[in-house]
Amino acid sequence: MDFRTIIAKRREGIAHSEEELRAIANGAASGEIPDYQLSAWLMAAYLKPLTDAETAMFTLAMAKSGEHVDLTGVPKPWVDKHSTGGVGDKTTLVLAPLLAACGLSVIKMSGRGLGITGGTIDKLTCIPGFSSNLTPADMVAQAKKIGIAVAGQSHYLAPADKALYALRDVTETVGSLPLIVSSILSKKIAGGAETVVLDVKCGTGSFNPTIDHAEKLAAALTRVGQQAGLKVFAAITDMNQPLGSAVGNALEVQEAIRVLSLPESELSSNSKRFRELCRYFGALALRVSGMAGSGSEALARIEDTLQSGRALEKARQWIAAQGGTVDLTDDSWLPRSTLQEIYTTHTSGCVAKVDAKIIGEIALEIGAGRKSKADEIDLAVGLELHVKVGDFVTVGQPLATIHAQSSEQLEYAKEWLLMAIQVQNAPVLPLPIVVRPA
């Protein structure tokens, strides 16, 4: 098949056949199609987007371009949760053991962070002995035993997506909605998922800055997922302010453990907001998987699993199964920064903004994130936020605690926190965590 013909069809907006889409995926995975031709096709696809039908066929072709996780023998229902990425998003650390403790099988591949959004695998690196290097066979065997396995993304699953994403990143075609959809869903299909709950972030700290953009992405993921044979349920959640109180790898692990182990009354107001999100997606997963007959029943079961300690016990089993050698009741093993400083407010009033984008950029600059894939990250640094939008504060009240390794990092963080957190005289309504339910 002459790939120039395929490029020309896309350039003219002529629909591809299933065979052509399969040739693109297989050629990208094998390296047989040169980068310059793939780049030309990507730009043509950016300018003349694939239809839903084409996107579904392309998603399946990319999923089949490599290995497939066979979950035969793993107790059903099988569920996967995916987030489009956000500042302070440590949801998997709580939700995965919570759902497994409720009887679902959670088999999830996660990635490392790049830019202002942290990666789940980076957070798990904070746990001494924990290994995320599981083969597909290892993941299945572990899920059969304890109902949960979380590993780093395999090079063997959906290799076409890996090749195309690297080119999208350098050809300014990342923003193509059909290509985003096929990238997300192909990995879910290759990972064996049947039901997927999607957390589509919306706000300054996400790549969906507006509700309109987020709604289009959520709708496309749902439509195409169904055409590709998945049960997909997408909710839009707030990312105008960071999720929870912690931003930074070790700090986020600490907050997740607290949400799993402490009663709600002992959590900070920001951690309560994070807990609310976990409860929402936990109940959604139970309901759409047929494990609960109604939303209220699902929510009650999630709450009971948290309060009873069963979710925390499942987290212990999970960490131990993947080599972790820690006591979750004592977080002294977590990496700690050498310097901590409390940043306070100089005015009284109502918190009008806790800008997720600026907070994420602060964390990135002091070492909690990566500017390039080759960068090393500092697991200990980050920010703890003590207020959220809508809170009333008085002069001298703590707004954030900076965890840094140098005085230069402290000064940088304080300078930008002045821009990130704004206090005004007039009252401000709190931001709802779930902007649009699934």
> Could you tell me the CATH number of the domain that includes residue 365?
3.90.1170.30
- Per-residue confidence at 307, pLDDT binned at 50, 70, 90? very high
Same domain, 287 and 343: no
Please enumerate in sequence order all residues whose Cβ is within 8 A of that of 346, keeping only pairs 6 or more positions apart, or say none.
Answer: 395
The torsion of the CA quartet 83, 272, 341, 382, rounded to 10 degrees, works out to -10
pTM: 0.93
The residue assigned the tokens 């496309």 is: 220
Q: Buried b vs exposed e over 338-353: b needs ≥16 C-beta within 10 Å?
A: eeebebebeeebbbeb
Q: Which domain holds residue 21?
A: 3-48
The residue assigned the tokens 């297989």 is: 26
- pLDDT above 90 (res 310): yes
- pLDDT above 80 (res 6): yes
Same domain, 100 and 206: yes
In a domain, residue 63? The reply is no
Same domain, 343 and 415: yes
Total number of domains constituting the chain? 3
Phi/psi region, residue 416 (left: phi>0; alpha: psi -120 to 50; beta: rest), is alpha
- pLDDT above 70 (res 114): no
Q: Are 119 and 112 in contact (CB under 8 A)?
A: yes
In a domain, residue 434? The reply is no
Amino acid at 237: T
Q: Which of 90, 112, 162, 187 is catalytic?
A: 187
Is residue 68 part of the annotated active site? The answer reads: no
In a domain, residue 284? The reply is yes
Phi, psi of 432 (to 5 degrees): -65, 145
Is residue 183 part of the annotated active site? The answer reads: yes
Q: Which of 89, 122, 161, 391 is catalytic?
A: 161
**Which pLDDT score, from 0 to 100, does residue 165 have?**
86
- pLDDT above 80 (res 9): yes
282 vs 390: CA distance, rounded Å: 26
- Residue 231 parent element (H or E): strand 231-238
Phi, psi of 436 (to 5 degrees): -145, 115
- Residue 369 parent element (H or E): none
Q: Looking at residues 279-291, what average pLDDT do you find?
A: 96
Q: Are 177 and 220 in contact (CB under 8 A)?
A: yes
**Sheet with 349-354: strands ordered across:** 392-393, 349-354, 421-424
Same domain, 111 and 209: yes
**Is residue 360 classed as helix, strand or coil in its secondary structure?**
helix
Is residue 287 part of the annotated active site? The answer reads: no
**Which pLDDT score, from 0 to 100, does residue 220 have?**
96
Check which CATH number belongs to the domain holding 114 and give it: 3.40.1030.10
- Per-residue confidence at 115, pLDDT binned at 50, 70, 90? low
Alpha carbon separation from 342 to 401, 412, 417 (Å, rounded): 4, 14, 11
Phi/psi region, residue 192 (left: phi>0; alpha: psi -120 to 50; beta: rest), is left
Q: Which of 22, 64, 123, 168 is catalytic?
A: 168
Q: Looking at residues 285-311, what average pLDDT do you find?
A: 96
Same domain, 264 and 193: yes
In a domain, residue 193? The reply is yes
Same domain, 220 and 250: yes
Q: Which of 82, 314, 370, 388 is catalytic?
A: 82
Average pLDDT over the chain, rounded to an integer: 94
81 vs 201: CA distance, rounded Å: 13
Q: Which of 176, 183, 289, 337 is catalytic?
A: 183
- Residue 136 parent element (H or E): helix 136-146
Same domain, 106 and 220: yes
